[in-house]
Chain A
Amino acid sequence: GENVEQHPSTLSVQEGDSAVIKCTYSDSASNYFPWYKQELGKRPQLIIDIRSNVGEKKDQRIAVTLNKTAKHFSLHITETQPEDSAVYFCAAFNQAGTALIFGKGTTLSVSS
């Protein structure tokens, strides 16, 4: 079945720096890749997603890139701010589209 690997598990950056989180997936039929942000005690919130017909998508300081050949996708956050501190999860659908499989998460800490 689908497997999603996420790295790193923790990431500490200074305010204003960029942060990059990488994920690889196993099912070559996967075609939808969302990223969720979960603050302490809150529900996961979708921050950006990408479908396999595009290679990159950007929304203000957040961007996601997808390399279908290598089966990996990445989240890029520029000009990080303390409020970006949270756990970030990547995910991919299994081939049948009946299950969203999540990576183990990355704890991002942004210090001012």
Chain B
Amino acid sequence: KAGVTQTPRYLIKTRGQQVTLSCSPISGHRSVSWYQQTPGQGLQFLFEYFSETQRNKGNFPGRFSGRQFSNSRSEMNVSTLELGDSALYLCASSLGPRDTQYFGPGTRLTVL
């Protein structure tokens, strides 16, 4: 089976812009979670989606949003980018809630 894929792999944006990141889960997986990874804060939970429903959101401002489509693919959006949003954004998929999560390669976002 193909693993979790994320596009794009790298992004450079300027402050104030918005960005959309995409995640394609492993075939058959219906749950997708998103994480922000930074050197200082480690892996921080952003959102979790299952069957197109956001079941939980981490402690991030409303500028961070996401959605899941009927084919389980997920997107996350960050509006009005700030310098502090520079990070590696990882998504992980699992068969369902509480199941083992498998990570994608991440999208490296740099905000200038």
Contacts and interface: CB of A to CB of B under 8 A. Distances in A.
Interface string B39-76: 00111110010000001101000000000000000000
A61 interface: no
B42 A98 contact: no
Contacts of B24: none
A31 B99 CA distance: 11
Contact of A98 (B43, B97, B101): B97
Chain A interface size, under 10 / 10 to 19 / 20 to 34 / 35 or more: 20 to 34
Nearest to A96: B56
A43 B106 contact: yes
A42 B90 CA distance: 11
Given A43-B90, A103-B42, A93 B58 contact: no
Interface of A: 31-32, 34, 36, 42-46, 49, 89, 91, 93-94, 96-105
